[in-house]
Amino acid sequence: MSRKNIIAANWKMNMTPSEAAAFLDPFLNTFSEATAVDIVIAPSFIAMPKASELITPNSAVALSAQNMSHEASGAFTGETSAAMLKEINTEYVILGHSERRSLYGEDDAVINKKVHAALSADLKPILCIGESLEEREGGQLESVLTTQLEGSLADVTIEQMGDVVIAYEPVWAIGTGVTATPEQAQDTQAFVRSVLAKIFREEVAAATRIQYGGSVKPGNAADLIGREDIDGFLVGGASLDPQSFAEIVSAGIGG
Ligand code: PGA
């Protein structure tokens, strides 16, 4: 089954609106036409309107949020709704990032509510899962990932899975400079796909795009993307520099 690679920039709490514009102006020219990969940029909420202005509907780049509320509207200070994101042409939303899980206490139950809120609003979730080093070394890798997938995807339908992207991000590889080896990433992502086959069915698992994330750089992207079950990247640090992110996108086109 051929899956279109999807390369996403997770800018985290970096890039002011003017910095986002300075990145996007040249970057959007580099990739002005539809490419063989999906390119996604996830700025901070405050930089999203500026990014949305620059990303035209027929641009090769799609806009993503880094998080959202599962509530539709109301007294939820500091939160952002799916409708607000839709109004500025947001297409994707990163959900369950390990920083949201560990620093802001998000668990699979709340992430599941967000996944449903996103899908109902026609936003495509990039659902993040991943194990800590202790969990991997303690032999819990498979149980941790299975629990995260079952919990976060509870009651998602087979049809809805067509809009879901999974990002496998080992916590020990995020922002550490330590990347999973291509073998580790491939083995784990093949396992993730087998869990999707059990939760849904074989065809759903075969069609779902699974990104790798964790210290992806221009120097390791080509090796990783060459593996069967790696269908793109979620890139943090290396996505802040237009040149290095463009090189990673190019690796995604080649892979
Ligand atoms: P990193 O972050 O590329 O800086 O390791 C990846 C992520 O957290 O999405």
**pLDDT tens digit string along 44-80?**
999 999 999 999 877 899 999 999 999 999 999 999 9
Which ligand 1 atom lies nearest to the CA of residue 213? 6
Which ligand 1 atom lies nearest to the CA of residue 175? 5
Measured distance CA(16)–CA(159) in Å, rounded: 37
pLDDT in tens, 144-201: 999 999 999 999 999 999 999 999 999 999 999 899 999 999 999 999 999 999 999 9
In this structure, what is the dihedral angle of CA atoms 199, 3, 54, 92, given to the nearest 10 degrees?
Answer: 0
Q: Is the CB of 10 under 6 A from ligand 1?
A: yes
Band of residue 1 on the pLDDT scale cut at 50, 70, 90: low
Ligand 1 mutation target, pool 102, 127, 216, most atoms within 8 A of CB: 216
Q: What is the mean pLDDT of residues 234-244?
A: 97
Give per-residue burial for 184-208: e unless 16+ CB within 10 Å, then b.
ebbebbebbbebbeebbeeebbeeb
Measured distance CA(152)–CA(127) in Å, rounded: 8
Domains of the chain, CATH where assigned: 6-254 (3.20.20.70)
pLDDT > 70 fraction of the chain, expressed in percent and rounded: 100
Tokens linked to 28? 């959007």
Distances (CA, A) of 159 to 84, 150, 192, 198: 24, 17, 19, 16
Q: Is the CB of 169 under 6 A from ligand 1?
A: yes
Q: Is the CB of 237 under 6 A from ligand 1?
A: yes
Catalytic residue among 91, 97, 99, 135: 97
Q: Residue 234: beta bridge partners?
A: 8, 213
Instruction: Assess contact for 114 and 151: CB atoms under 8 A.
Output: no
Q: How confident is the prediction for the chain on average, in pLDDT?
A: 96
Measured distance CA(171)–CA(182) in Å, rounded: 16
Distances (CA, A) of 142 to 52, 85, 99: 38, 34, 20
Q: What is the mean pLDDT of residues 218-225?
A: 96
Judge whether 97 counts as a catalytic residue: yes
Which residue in 134, 205, 203 sits closest to 172, CA to CA? 134
Q: What is the mean pLDDT of residues 203-207?
A: 98
Q: Is the CB of 213 under 6 A from ligand 1?
A: yes
Instruction: Assess contact for 227 and 182: CB atoms under 8 A.
Output: yes
Ligand 1 mutation target, pool 6, 7, 10, most atoms within 8 A of CB: 10
Q: Is the CB of 215 under 6 A from ligand 1?
A: yes
Residue 226 φ/ψ, nearest 5 degrees:
-70, -10
Q: Residue 10: beta bridge partners?
A: 42
